[in-house]
């Protein structure tokens, strides 16, 4: 439970929504800048913009979970039981993206099952 007064928690909520809104606007502008929509002929590598977006999204997720959902004010045991399992996702993301890359490179070795069906008919 939070030990903050009403006014303190109100100030925190106002600050948090401000930061979230700022990050969102920044993300969109950065994505458009990187893809060359804002400045003619100017591009940023997708790895840099993509990486920045992911970091900023995690910051947004932190603010929503810790401030809006009050995770910051829960006891450590509760925080751990909710957040530790999500760490398993880190490996799931790495493994499945690597798998996706492998599917992509293996595509040339696969006969198109749709055209096989058509040739039978």
Partner 1 sequence: MASDTLAHDHHTDTHSGGSWKGGSEPFKASYGKLMMWYFLLSDAFTFSGFLIAYGALRFSMPTWPVPDFVFSTFPGGFHHLPLLFVTVMTFILLASSYTMVRAVQEGHRENKRGVVVWMMWTILGGAAFLSCQAWEWNTLMGKEHMTVTTNPFGTHTVSGKYLEGDGHDIKEGDTFVAGDSYLMHKHEGEWAPLKYTITDGPDKGKEGQQTFGPKAFGALFFFITGFHGFHVLSGVAFLLIICVNSATGLYARRRNGYEMVEKIGLYWHFVDLVWVFVFLFFYLL
Q: Which of 26, 48, 50, 72 binds partner 1 (CB under 8 A)?
A: 50
Q: Which is nearer to partner 1, 41 or 77 (by Cβ)?
A: 77
Cβ pair 59, 53 in contact under 8 A: no
Q: Which of residues 64-93 bind partner 1 (CB under 8 A)?
A: 64-65, 68-69, 74-75, 77-78, 81-82, 85-86, 89, 92-93
Residues with Cβ within 8 Å of residue 36, at least 6 apart in sequence = 42, 43
Cβ pair 67, 10 in contact under 8 A: no
Q: Which is nearer to partner 1, 75 or 120 (by Cβ)?
A: 75
Closest CA to 86 of 70, 62, 67, 68: 62
| Cα–Cα distance list, 79 to 70, 73, 86 (Å) | 10, 9, 11
- Judging by beta carbons within 10 Å of its beta carbon (0-12, 13-18, 19+), is residue 96 exposed, middle or buried? exposed
- Residue 20 binds partner 1, judged by CB under 8 A: yes
Q: Which is nearer to partner 1, 88 or 120 (by Cβ)?
A: 88
Where on the chain is the footprint of partner 1 (CB under 8 A)?
Answer: 1-2, 6, 9-10, 13, 17, 20-21, 24-25, 27-28, 31-32, 35, 37, 46, 50, 53-54, 57, 60-61, 64-65, 68-69, 74-75, 77-78, 81-82, 85-86, 89, 92-93, 96-97, 99-104, 107
């Amino acid at each position: 439970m939070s030990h903050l007064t009403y006014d303190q928690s109100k100030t925190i909520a106002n600050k948090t929504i401000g930061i979230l809104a700022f990050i969102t606007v920044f993300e969109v502008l950065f994505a458009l800048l990187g893809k060359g929509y804002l400045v003619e002929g100017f591009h940023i590598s997708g790895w840099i913009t993509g990486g920045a977006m992911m970091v900023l999204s995690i910051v947004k997720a932190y603010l929503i979970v810790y401030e809006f959902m009050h995770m910051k004010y829960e006891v450590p045991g509760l925080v751990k039981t909710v957040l530790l399992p999500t760490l398993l996702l880190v490996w799931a993301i790495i493994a499945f993206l690597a798998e996706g890359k492998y599917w992509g490179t293996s595509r040339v070795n696969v006969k198109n099952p749709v055209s096989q069906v058509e040739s039978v008919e």
